[in-house]
Amino acid sequence: MTMAADPAMRILARRALMTGIGGLGGLAAWLLIDVLPNHLDSDRLILFLSAALGGVFACFLAAAGALPPRRAALVAALASLPAAGLLWWGSFRYDSVGDYLRTGHAPIAFGLILFLSLPFLIVAHRPGEVWRSYPALFRQSWDIAVRYAAAWIFVGAFWAVVFLSDALLGLVGLDVIERVVELDPVAPALTGAVLGLALAVVAELADYISPFLILRLLRLFLPVVLVVTAVFLVALPVRGLTELFGGLSVAAVLLSMALGIATLITSAVEREDAEAADSAVLRGAAQALALAVPLLTATALYAVWLRVGDYGWTPDRIAAACASAVGLGYGVLYSLAVLARRGWMERIRRANIAMALAVIAVAALWLTPVLNAERLSARDQVARFTSGAVDAEALDLWLLGHELGRAGKAAVAELAALEHPEAAELDRRIARLETATDRFRFERGGRAEDPAAQRAEILALAAVRPEGHALPPALLAEASLAQLTGWLGGCRRTTPGGHPGCAVLFADLSPAVAGEEALIFWLTGESGVNVALLPGDVPLSLRFLQGRAVNLEPRAIDRVLAGDFALAPVELRALRLDGAEILLMP
């Protein structure tokens, strides 16, 4: 009986430990978020404590499924404390921790360091295993993901039961559950405790809750994704990036696709050759996709480079460039592995280890002065102005003064001290920067919302095509204040070709209406160009083919002004019924 009882007692003890640790983690989160800020004046100390404790609890719960509690605690500390220190160090780029975290880059870098380093540390602390053993790293990485996913599903089910139970008791006038849950520390402590319990149970059922089923299913996507990728690569030189993606971020789409492909390839090669995909179709698709990854990531890097050439560096673009470079690294190593033919799957496994370490290194550098994206961006924006690439009106002072932290403010001070032909205009905009409460008011320049003045400025700034045409003031007479404000905001910007950011095109687009119609194109920021039909007396509304609104690239206005467009007939058929016409748009 004792022999049978000991395993049962050990299971109960482990469940109690994991439940307690999870509950303590929930309580710690409540104290750090709701209580400690009221008693500590140092936001940076709270940031460090939150990152360190949050990381320790999360990593302990993940590592406890593979290591004894003491080793799991050691691994959690080794993963979390250095990452929290780097996060704290990086916060000094900004005056406030809130501004630092709102960028989103630092928390992502912290998370990458934490969770990519965790499998290495777990394997390194398991007896008889080597830290760089790919089969062990592969198993631990996927185990952590699957265990956490299953545990969070259980947490969701737990709260569903709680709320349903409260609703049921509410029918007979009892609100005891609601009162208990509304106590401040109860909800986070319960969530943490249930999460810990779920992770303990999932670890006990490791033979049943396995990532290998998911991996087998993922492999089935390989041929489908190969076809889609092949179509994209064939269409790319024919149609171009703008036509293929419209207003979506080209780099983000390409990198997301490359990440998905790398995941599918990893699922196909598995931990070792004996477990890899044995179908010739799946292996061939994996090899072909491995050759496609560098093409996708190189295109993403080129898209980022084009945007930098137009508008300069910003932290977002530096992050995109880093992600593209990492993706290109994966692609080059994958391609070399496939081209070497023999042993290509083992080479891809080694590439995954190398690139995981590279990502950890880049994420760590992001939080240090070595890769200070805010400082690099501020220097580039100042250099673009001093070199004449942008004038004082086009210089993104709001970015410098409000989005790049201390480096941006130092850059504004440097600009204010410059002896420059446009110093007067620059000083005026810097003074406006100090009083404006948001970007919109800053770009408006404090002008009163006078529709007549807005119409006059649009008439003065808007380029009109074809040559010789003029924009009649009557076409702007019926525009709303919101429309005028949006159009004028675009007009005050500058296109990549150096033109005002708005243009009006006259063209005979409707055979049903005599004369020409007027389309206005305007910049909406760096993301693209919008188009609308000027109101006037035209009894038409702007309709878009392909079921989507037009969202063009910033160079579209330059193309309109250069005549780089075509007027083409579109064949449509209408169902006429009781005096109405019903059109189906393709």
Model pLDDT for residues 240-279, shown as the tens digit of each residue? 655 555 444 788 889 999 999 999 999 999 999 889 998 9
Nearest CA to 476 among 464, 487, 465, 490? 487
Could you tell me how many residues make up the chain? 586
3-state secondary structure of 214: helix
Instruction: Supply the pLDDT for residue 449.
Output: 62
Nearest CA to 50 among 23, 77, 31? 31
Q: Show the tokens assigned to 318.
A: 């530096």
- Collect the ranges in the chain with pLDDT lower than 70: 1-5, 239-248, 444-449, 511-513, 525-527, 535-551, 570-586
CA 306 – CA 452 distance, rounded (Å): 38
Instruction: Supply the pLDDT for residue 388.
Output: 87
Q: What's the chain's Rg over C-alpha atoms? A: 30
**Which residues make Cβ contacts (< 8 Å) with residue 22, sequence separation at least 6?**
57, 61, 192, 193, 194, 195, 196, 197, 199
Nearest CA to 503 among 538, 467, 474? 467
Instruction: Supply the pLDDT for residue 247.
Output: 42
Nearest CA to 529 among 559, 509, 507, 484? 559
Give me the residue label for tokens 């709102």.
102
**Which residues make Cβ contacts (< 8 Å) with residue 238, sequence separation at least 6?**
none
Model pLDDT for residues 475-520, shown as the tens digit of each residue? 888 888 888 888 888 888 888 777 888 999 888 877 666 778 888 8
**Which residues make Cβ contacts (< 8 Å) with residue 547, sequence separation at least 6?**
585, 586
Instruction: Supply the pLDDT for residue 544.
Output: 45
CA–CA–CA angle 196, 83, 301 (5° rounding) = 110
Residue 525 phi/psi, 5° resolution?
Answer: 120, -150
Residue 302 phi/psi, 5° resolution?
Answer: -65, -40
Instruction: Supply the pLDDT for residue 501.
Output: 87
Nearest CA to 377 among 347, 352, 409? 409
Give residue limits of the domains in the chain: 13-209, 216-371, 373-444, 460-583
Q: Show the tokens assigned to 152.
A: 């969070």
Which long-range CB contacts under 8 A does 172-179 form with residues at least 24 apart? none
Instruction: Supply the pLDDT for residue 224.
Output: 95
